[in-house]
Amino acid sequence: MRDGDVSVVALSAGLRQPSSTRMLADRLGQATLSALDAHGVTATAETVEVREIAHDVVNAMLTGFPAGGLPEALEKVTHASGLIAVTPVFGTSYSGLFKSFMDVLEPDSLTGMPVLLGATGGTPRHSLALDYAMRPLFAYLHADAVSTTVFAATDDWAGDGDTENPLPERIERAGRELAERIMRTDRTGPADLYDDVPSLDQMLRP
Amino acid sequence: MQFGIFSVSDVTTDPTTGRTPDDTERVRSMLTIARHADAAGLDVFATGEHHNPPFVASSPTTLLGYLAAATENIVLSTSTTLITTNDPVKIAEDYAMLQVISDGRMDLMLGRGNTGPVYPWFGQDIRQGIPLAIENYALLRRLWEEDVVDWEGRFRTPLQGFTATPRPLDGVPPYVWHGSIRSPEIAEQAGYYGDGFFHNNIFWPMSHTKKMVNFYRQRFEHYGHGRADQAIVGLGGQVFMRKNSQDAWNEFRPYFDNAPVYGHGPSMEEFTATTPLTVGSPQQVIERYASMRDDVGDYQRQLFLIDHAGLPLKTVLEQIDMLAEEVVPVLRKEMETKRPAHVPANPPSHAERAAARLEDAQTRNENEARDEIHA
């Protein structure tokens, strides 16, 4: 684990207020902090609501550069010690807004990032979207997603969801996995554009 | 300091009238715009190079060759010449020819281009963009500097005993700028050779431009071409002016809202706040552009994009007049006042470089003569 501040950032792509996606993101964040705390690691938690920067995300796609609130959100997400990414499932996959945010990230900016994946939906029948949509996206980005993902269906927010393996237990387990991954990782943030510029001699003689 | 205009040569429907010029009309408009800029007293006219609609400027040296005869004082340049997909041998020939025809009143800016399919259309691979720019330019320099070139590289047929003609005017190759927005490798290249570096920041926030220009300045100094603040820097800019600021906003807004690059995205308010686009009175343009040196240091060339997004020719010519009469004289004076004496005011002209070459040759001869006497 890197020295200095440990930050857990939750990226929530929920659209409604209040949002069950945001609720799940917050719960996963708390579970991660608790697990870190159990190991004696103090961490901070922050949430990035994609909704609040939705226009900036679209503008960045159209103009090619981030402006408005987007640079700060990108900085938080890519410099986190661990990332929790939660999206509602729309039409069998992550929401378009969630994917748009992922699309304006620099291609290498999540390499090696410990990630916990979460999703919400009306019924548990959508839960596999985490494994066939979310996980490949983060694998493509070379992020380091923990094996447990958490899907919260509407019924999970009451007692009649999964009684064998209820939502709080799944959240707790997922938070523990992310905490352990954060502690084993020494990622220090995304590469800077100017870090490894080859000299002209190196470029002339590849 | 030089102030000029650069064109991307887009054929765009005027959103206020629905009228679209054809290619012929657009090319002729560019000629009119360049001649008008020359007559108005602007310092530089630069044309882009594109190989796909809606752009018409596929053949920069043909356009600039005509303008060399049709203009008096304006420096003719490019923004940019594609160093990746053009054969460097043809660039050496075309631009040496332009240099001779214009009697040295030209330079060129090399760039990689921003349209993916241009690479395969010209038989290249976009993933090799940087290596192509590095190798092709290394060859281009040799073709200008050496009378007979033997050469072998990765991307082009080898050359044995090749001489590019015409030889450069007075033995001095055309002055070269390297343009790049996002690639520090190109800033490194410009620093290595001590060439100019142009950052076309018209779609980028100043924080980004500042870092890239600084990187170039450090590398320029590292390679021994002078102090970092003496490196030759150019910036892009974009303005729309009317006497009254509100008139400028009202008139330009439909063009902004429908512009091919940023239309339908951020509002004009957001875009003018985050990028150098300035819409308003000439005084507001002066204030905005006078502050650019605070971020990038004293620089030598400022180019404005003014003939795009379907703006009518008449409007473009009016913008040129306002630039030349109201903006540039004030900006130039202000920049001159603040510029330290050891920082060049302008990029090196052909006459200066030819004189420097002559002086070098004389020093060399004197040294040789002295060595012979002592021998």
Q: What is the pLDDT of residues B162-210, one digit of tens each?
A: 999 999 999 999 999 999 999 999 999 999 999 999 999 888 888 899 9
pLDDT at A76 over 70: yes
Enter the tokens of residue B9.
């040569």
Residues in A closer than 8 angstroms to B261, CB to CB, are: 63
Per-residue model confidence (pLDDT) at position B284: 98
* Number of structural domains in chain A: 1
CA dihedral B236, B124, B133, B100 (to 10 degrees): -80
Cα distance between residue A72 and residue A48, in whole Å: 10
Looking at residue B366, its pLDDT comes to 85
d(CA B289, CA B295): 11
Nearest to A200 among B192, B215, B261 (CB): B192
Structural domain includes residue A26: yes
C-alpha A78: how far from chain center: 10
Q: Domain for residue A139, yes or no?
A: yes
Residue B92: pLDDT over 70: yes
Return the amino acid letter for A180.
E
- B163: closest CA of chain A, how far (Å): 22
> Cα dihedral angle (B178, B179, B181, B186), rounded to 10 degrees?
-20
Residue pair A43/A33 in contact (Cβ under 8 Å)? The answer is yes
Secondary structure letter of residue B49 according to DSSP? -
Are residues B248 and B240 in contact, defined by beta-carbon separation less than 8 angstroms? yes
A-chain residue closest to B214, CA distance: A194
Contacts of residue A197 in chain B, CB cutoff 8 Å?
Answer: 184-185, 188, 215
Question: Are A203 and B266 inside 8 Å of each other by CB?
Answer: no
Distance (Å, rounded) from C-alpha B286 to C-alpha B272? 15
> Above 80 in pLDDT, residue B53?
yes
pLDDT digits (tens, 9 = 90+) for A92-137: 999 999 999 999 999 899 999 999 999 999 999 999 999 999 999 9
Residues 6+ apart with CB under 8 A from B175: B107, B108, B195, B196, B347, B348, B350, B353
CB < 8 Å to B208, chain A:
65
Q: How does pLDDT run across B98-144, given as a tens digit for each residue?
A: 999 999 999 999 999 878 899 999 999 999 999 999 999 999 999 99
Binding-face residues of B in 207-236 toward A, CB within 8 A: 208, 211, 215
Output A137-143 pairs: Cβ under 8 A, ≥24 positions apart. A137/A94, A137/A99, A137/A102, A138/A85, A138/A110, A141/A102, A141/A105, A141/A107, A141/A110, A141/A111, A142/A108, A142/A110, A142/A111, A142/A112, A143/A83, A143/A110, A143/A111, A143/A112, A143/A113, A143/A114, A143/A115
Least Cα distance to A146 among A32, A1, A5, A19 occurs for A32
Residue A137 covered by a domain: yes
Query: Across the strands, what pairs with B78?
Result: B47
Q: Could you read off the pLDDT of B207-235 as tens digits, one per residue?
A: 899 999 999 999 999 999 999 999 999 99
Instruction: Tell me which chain B residues have a C-beta less than 8 angstroms from the C-beta of A65.
Output: 203-205, 208, 274
Q: Which of A116, A157, A149 minimizes the C-alpha distance to A130?
A: A149
Report the pLDDT value the prediction gives residue B260, as an integer from 0 to 100: 85
Q: Are B293 and A90 in contact (CB under 8 A)?
A: no
Closest-CA distance, B138 to chain A, in angstroms, reads 8
For A34, the domain range is: 6-204
Strand partners, B199: B235
A1 within domain boundaries: no
The CATH class that applies to domain B2-346 reads: alpha beta
Return the amino acid letter for B126: I
pLDDT in tens, B253-288: 999 999 988 889 999 999 999 899 999 999 999 999
Candidates A57, A59, A74, A205: best to mutate against B (most CBs of B within 10 A) is A59
Mean pLDDT over B305-315 rounds to 97
Q: Which residues of chain A neighbour B188 with C-beta distances below 8 Å? A: 197-200, 203
Binding-face residues of B in 127-166 toward A, CB within 8 A? 130-131, 134-135, 138
Span B21-38, average pLDDT: 98
The CATH number that applies at residue A171 is 3.40.50.360
Residues of A near B (CB-CB distance < 8 A)?
58-59, 62-65, 67-68, 193-194, 197-200, 203-204, 206
